[in-house]
Amino acid sequence: MKNLFSDKSGFSPSQLKIADFIERYPEEMLFMTEQEIADRLGTSIATVSRFWRAVGYENAKAFKLKLRETSDKTPAVKLEKTISEMDASSLPVKMLEQAVHHLQETSKKTDPDDLEQAARLMASARRVYVYAPGPSLSLGELLSYRLSRFGMSSRVMAGSGHELLESLAHLEQDDVVLIFSFTRMLPETEVILDCVSRVRNAAIMITDREDFRYGTPAQLSFFVSRGDMGEFHSMVTPLLLVEQLILSIGMLNKEQVLKKLDDLGKLRTRYADKLPRGKA
């Protein structure tokens, strides 16, 4: 939600940080206390408290009442907003332009050394656990499928509920957990991160929330640009990051990967009559 604050010229650096956070994540902010906002942004609660008056409101409650009037958007509303801003005849071009923008923003904030380190952690892990809730499930399944082809042990964890604990109960120090965390911090994500801190194993987070990259036990965090809070969220950049990880892992274990793929090819040839290869 851009341009929530019409004039930021008189804002202090701390106030600019608060304003930017609210504009990017208004729905998240609605459910946070002043202390939680201060902790998330690394500022004082006094700075947060003074911010409301600086933007013309008596307190946080008054600001949230106004914000709630403009930020209550369902996925259908988000999609409608995005489509309404596009000319149907130029939809492919607009989507391509948006994808390029997301890729550029993501590229600026992706350190190649971090990407290589993440690949090394996963390549050397006893098992890679993948937490991919909601729309990120397809990404998690793709990653798990490719790693299995490489001969690696991977497991997609349950998206919610007590079934998640079935995986966490087997978590060991030489495992790696890869977490997709989009839009908001789920209770399940908090549980996973708590287990990670207790087991002391490596965790990697892929998120569209820059503030989620800090203050967690995750050893490495990657930001992917997917669109503003009130817009349709693209999956182009997280897909590209996942494919980069897959290729990096394949290059690290080149001989093992090629052998596994060669073995798969031989099995396909041997049993081609009994198990013909389908379209998938």
Q: pLDDT digit string (tens) for 145-166?
A: 999 988 899 999 998 888 899 8
pLDDT confidence tier of residue 226, bands split at 50, 70 and 90: confident
User: Which amino acid type is present at position 128?
Assistant: V
Q: pLDDT digit string (tens) for 9-52?
A: 788 888 988 988 888 777 778 778 899 899 888 889 999 999 99
Give the pLDDT confidence score for residue 128 in this predicted structure: 96
Q: pLDDT digit string (tens) for 96-150?
A: 777 788 888 888 888 899 999 999 999 999 999 999 998 899 999 999 999 998 8
Mean pLDDT, the chain, integer: 84
Transcribe 59-90 into DSSP letters. Answer: SHHHHHHHHHHHH---HHHHHHHHHHTS-GGG
Where do runs of H (alpha helix) occur along the chain?
Answer: 13-24, 26-29, 34-41, 45-54, 60-71, 75-84, 91-108, 112-123, 137-149, 163-168, 187-199, 236-252, 254-270
User: Which amino acid type is present at position 247?
Assistant: L
Strands 128-131 and 154-156 come out as parallel
Give the pLDDT confidence score for residue 280 in this predicted structure: 45
Strands 220-223 and 176-181 come out as unpaired
**Signed CA dihedral, 30, 33, 36, 41: sign only:** positive
Residue 4 has a CB neighbour count (10 Å cut-off) of 16
Give the residue-averaged pLDDT of 173-192.
91
Residue 270 has a CB neighbour count (10 Å cut-off) of 10
Task: Pull the structure tokens for residue 52.
Answer: 């409301």
